[in-house]
Structure 1
């Protein structure tokens, strides 16, 4: 009597034909979604409704950015104007650093 081998039972299931689910990729996707929803909810909780956007980094990560409510550019820092209380980037609010203000002048101490 001939012994049976796995190949005698039909086509074997090949590893390459199966969908791969890696725990690291799954956790990274969940972390990014969780991070984005957490940041959005924190902003809404303090009364600021600002859009978030993302960009990919060189090391397969994601960087979060604010979307300026005035010009819709992505920025890392937003400012609230102390007089008009408008929120925007420093370009939209026409804000300058102290060094830019005194450029070409002798700065006193």
Structure 2
């Protein structure tokens, strides 16, 4: 059973309102020889230490992930909560995408 967070009863924020960092952006400039060094260290992201983890790909490669500081799951994108500055994944910070908020509603301008 999931515990409630302060956002469960209040305003839900959307992903587009938050700062984000993609794992690909962090590793883009590193060569393969540096990736192992990066993996064994922690990154200092938005003034907070964040671990990295890996999974194997289907073609004998390695895929890198951030470890969410709140739930410890491997994720590709970290977000900063707009109110309290917490860093985490979309689920832990209770964020939604703009399109999902209006799912099923007609998108038109009313006169």
Shift of 1:83: 0.8
5+ residue gaps, structure 2, are 1-31
Which position in structure 1 is the counterpart of 2:100?
A: 100
Q: Could you tell me the TM-score, scaled by structure 1's length?
A: 0.61
Greater fraction of residues in helix: 1
Q: CA RMSD in A?
A: 2.2
Which position in structure 1 is the counterpart of 2:65?
A: 65
**Hey, which bits of structure 1, 4+ residues long, moved more than 4 A?**
none
5+ residue gaps, structure 1, are 1-27
1:84 and 1:96 mapped to 2: Cα distance? 17
Aligned residues: 78
Q: Could you tell me the TM-score, scaled by structure 2's length?
A: 0.60
Greater fraction of residues in strand: 2
8 Å Cα contact 1:32/1:62 also seen in 2: no
